[in-house]
Amino acid sequence: MHSRDGRAAATATITVHCRFFARYADALGRDEMALEMPDGATVADAVGRLRDTLPKADLLPERPLAAVNREHAAPDTPLADGDEMALLPPLAGG
Amino acid sequence: MHSRDGRAAATATITVHCRFFARYADALGRDEMALEMPDGATVADAVGRLRDTLPKADLLPERPLAAVNREHAAPDTPLADGDEMALLPPLAGG
Amino acid sequence: MDYLTRDPIDVGRLLGVVTDDGRGGTVVFLGSVRRGAEDGPVAAIDYDAYEEMAGSEFDRIIAEARERWPGAGFAAQHRLGEVPRGEPSIAVVAAAGHRAEAFEACRWVIDEAKHRLPIWKKERFDDGSERWREE
Amino acid sequence: MDYLTRDPIDVGRLLGVVTDDGRGGTVVFLGSVRRGAEDGPVAAIDYDAYEEMAGSEFDRIIAEARERWPGAGFAAQHRLGEVPRGEPSIAVVAAAGHRAEAFEACRWVIDEAKHRLPIWKKERFDDGSERWREE
């Protein structure tokens, strides 16, 4: 029974490694965290969860620039277990 | 009388210092010469005279690129006594 | 050569990467820290990056440029950490057969880099205050 | 700095002339001797100039550029005499507040220089033959 529950949980949820940079890291007071999400969740879903649960996360815009596994990613990009999702303030390189 | 003739000649003709470069200098076998022209002559007049009188001057185009006193000059540019007139093959700097 | 560096940018080294006697035109862009008169004198900019992504994104930009301008050579570098006023924070070099391509290719790479690299800047003013600058 | 030189072009020195912490964008153009596959390998180009005019014409071009892009900084140099394959024969540097101006200004100066400088080139091929090259 314990083993069945464990297996069911592993297929039903994913863990996403979130990273925050620059002004977002300053605002949240952290630069990374693990986030559990239901399987099938998108970048937009994960951002919504962060905005609902993190203190001061209303400092994040509803649709921040994001990257998944170190490539720019649209809000509807699906997330998989173990993905690295980064939230990027407006870019200002150069 | 000698002095009157001398004065008359000075107003009636001008001396232009001609310079030739690159392919034109090679073709003519010289890179400079003095040219006497009537007062009021233009660059085009001087080029015509050179083409009529210099050996191999038919290697010069009828309307070569020209400069007077180190500035680009159109064919109708008037010449004055002591001017430096340069004939320039197609430019190829850079 | 790494796309990211914490040392001053060495333009001569970047030029060495693209030099090829089939390439007659080379264009270099350097973006430097301005004193920035609007909000008081900027002493330096501290560049912060998502480094693992910035390096691979710069690599993707250059790979796309090579497809657009076959035969052209490219080198580029972004400096991170504190860059004093007047010094370059980014350099892009494009070398091609002729100058029109070299100008276009260099301009394209710097525009893409500005839009795509996950890099941020915090301005440090002469009075010691600092501020994230988003453009 | 002289607009004409018989020594290798020193890009670092030219950059030093235009560096100013109000100018955030700098564009450098380098035109180099190509091996020139069409007519056999070019070993070097011997650049010949109407020197007294070339210097003052380059000065007029830069003066016109300063009027078109007020506040921009310019430096430029053309090398004369024998320039070996792969080495630059001309360099133009334009520095301005922002990159769009710097690209436009640099491109304008090199285009004008190509059209207006009284300079000619004789190609020397690997087999020892040589020929005036008019483009």
Alpha carbon of C46 to those of A22, A39, C31, C85, D106: distances in Å? 11, 39, 14, 11, 29
Give the span between the Cα atoms of C123 and C44, in whole angstroms.
6
Subunits close to C (at least 3 CB pairs below 8 A): A, D
Burial of C15 (0-12, 13-18, 19+ CB in 10 A): buried
B91: closest CA of chain D, how far (Å): 6
Subunit contact C85:D12, Cβ cutoff 8 A: no
The DSSP annotation for D14-55 comes to HHHHH--TT--EEEEEEEE----GGGS-EEEEEEEE-HHHHH
Subunits close to D (at least 3 CB pairs below 8 A): B, C
Subunit contact A93:C134, Cβ cutoff 8 A: no
D24: closest CA of chain B, how far (Å): 27
Average pLDDT, chain C: 95
Residues from chain D contacting residue B32 (CB–CB below 8 Å): none
Nearest to B88 among D31, D50, D78 (CB): D50
Provide the CB-side half-sphere exposure for C65 (13 A, CA): 29
Subunit contact D99:C86, Cβ cutoff 8 A: no
pLDDT at B2 over 80: no
Nearest to C28 among D23, D24, D28 (CB): D28
pLDDT at A4 over 50: no
Give the span between the Cα atoms of D75 and D13, in whole angstroms.
9
In this prediction, residues D18-46 reach a mean pLDDT of 90
**A10-14, D16-20, D74-78, D85-89 — which is least confidently predicted?**
A10-14
Residue of A nearest to C54 (CA): A70
Contact present, B and A (at least 3 Cβ pairs less than 8 Å): no
Residues from chain A contacting residue C115 (CB–CB below 8 Å): 91
Reported as a single tens digit per residue, the pLDDT across C40-96 is 799 999 999 999 999 999 999 999 999 999 999 999 999 999 999 999 999 999 999
Reported as a single tens digit per residue, the pLDDT across B28-87 is 999 999 999 999 999 999 999 999 999 887 789 999 999 999 999 999 999 999 999 999
Subunit contact A89:C56, Cβ cutoff 8 A: no
Alpha carbon of A61 to those of A27, A56, A58, A89, C129: distances in Å? 12, 11, 7, 9, 26
Contact present, C and D (at least 3 Cβ pairs less than 8 Å): yes
Residue of D nearest to B65 (CA): D118
Reported as a single tens digit per residue, the pLDDT across D96-132 is 999 999 999 999 999 999 999 999 999 999 898 999 9
Report how many Cβ contacts below 8 Å link chain C to chain D.
97
C31: tokens are: 């973006």
Position C36 scores a pLDDT of 80
- ipTM entry: 0.90
Subunit contact D57:B91, Cβ cutoff 8 A: no
B86, β-bridge pairs: B19, B67
- SS3 assignment, position A14: strand
Q: How far is CA B3 from the centre of its chain?
A: 28
- Dihedral angle sign, alpha carbons of residues D38, D42, D46, D47: positive
